Amino acid sequence: MPNNPPRQLTLEIVSDLVCPWCFIGLRRLDIAMAMLGQKHPDLEISQRWRPFFLNPDTPLEGEPYLPFLINKFGSEAAVEALFQRVRDAGTPYGIDYRFEDIRLRANTLHAHRLIHRAQQQGDARPLVERLFVGQFQLGEHLGDPAVLANIAEECGYPRGDIANYLASDSDSELVRTMERESRTWGVRAVPTFIVDRRIMVPGAEDPAILVAAIEQALQASPAA
């Protein structure tokens, strides 16, 4: 008796690399994928990353991190309370946030371009993980093309090719267009998970919620 072909769907993850909740969302996504793998071993899920700009007016060279947040949230005490809330949420997922090491808030256009480039060659998940680690655990400035080229090389991409790509303007307008497109779909905050362009799950939700959304999409498109 021939084996049935695997069922396939696409999961698009809209996120920004300066969003600490997106890092938690990434780890919760991993748990959801493991749960789905056990329940639906015939299911293949293609993960695709889509850009989002939390603060599109951030200068390309970046801006001082803590002053920006104090201005946004009203006081240093309010910012520290937010930091602690995120630290507490990240701890169960092995994330040790080191906000004190972040000097500059990055403009993430180049980082999103790098992810887009990586996705043309395959799975960008390891690169995305490393970028979040760089942002929130190592204090690396993800707006700096040289830093991004180093991270890409660490993840197995040819440094010279990536450096040349980032030095150009290739795909800049495409990335901006993708970001605007996500907003037209109703994305207003990140992370947002979009299942087969059918179901939208906003927020770094419990893995079971994402599993339920994916199973709902499977029911809407039954296997042949």
**Domains, the chain, ordered by start:** 7-220 (3.40.30.10)
Rg (CA), the chain: 18
Question: Measured between alpha carbons, how far is 166 from 129 in angstroms, rounded to an integer?
Answer: 19
Which residues are CB-contacts of 65 (< 8 A; sequence separation ≥ 6)? 99, 102, 103, 104, 105
pTM over 0.85: yes
From 135, 192, 169, select the one nearest 12 (Cα to Cα).
192
46 bridge partner residues: 10
List the chain pLDDT tens, one digit each, 224 residues.
446 677 899 999 999 999 999 999 999 999 999 999 999 999 999 999 999 999 999 999 999 999 999 999 999 999 999 999 999 999 999 999 999 999 999 999 999 999 999 999 999 999 999 999 999 999 999 999 999 999 999 999 999 999 999 999 999 999 999 999 999 999 999 999 999 999 999 999 899 999 999 999 988 865 53
